[in-house]
Amino acid sequence: MDFAKSIAVAASGLKAQSGRMRVIAENVANADSTGNRPGADPYRRKVTTFARHFDREIGATVVDLGPVQRDGSAFRTKVDPGHPAANPQGEVKLPNVNSLVETLDMREAQRSYEANLNIVTATRRMIARTLDIIRA
């Protein structure tokens, strides 16, 4: 087993999930961001993608955060004629961010991050035990 390869693959997963959590946090932070003028579009939810590639240096397939895409789903609307972003009919477009979905996505990203971190920790323990055996 190649310990360096194991750590490098897990580290790529850590970096990708960290980027995913950053995008989710941005979505949550903008869940109530409306347009800045009447009829303007509000914040549009962002969705992460992942890309895998073969890293020749370590000889293994690793994962990277792919392009961040915009969610094409429809905006929510509410009637609020006094709102600065209301259109002539009094409707305000709200972001297509669902806090429940974002919470579930964040939890999934956290668990994936923790799993990769556990791989790094277990590999480090194996390296330490191997060195102990060699020294003995």
Tell me the per-residue pLDDT of 58-72, one tens digit each, with 9 for 90 and over. 999 999 999 999 999
Please give the pLDDT value at position 62.
95
Residues lower than pLDDT 70 in the chain: 1
Burial-class residue 125 by CB neighbours within 10 Å (0-12, 13-18, 19+).
exposed
pTM of the model: 0.88
Residue reference for tokens 């600065």:
84
Burial-class residue 118 by CB neighbours within 10 Å (0-12, 13-18, 19+).
exposed
Integer Cα distance of 63 and 115 in angstroms: 14
Q: Which sequence spans correspond to the domains of the chain? A: 3-135
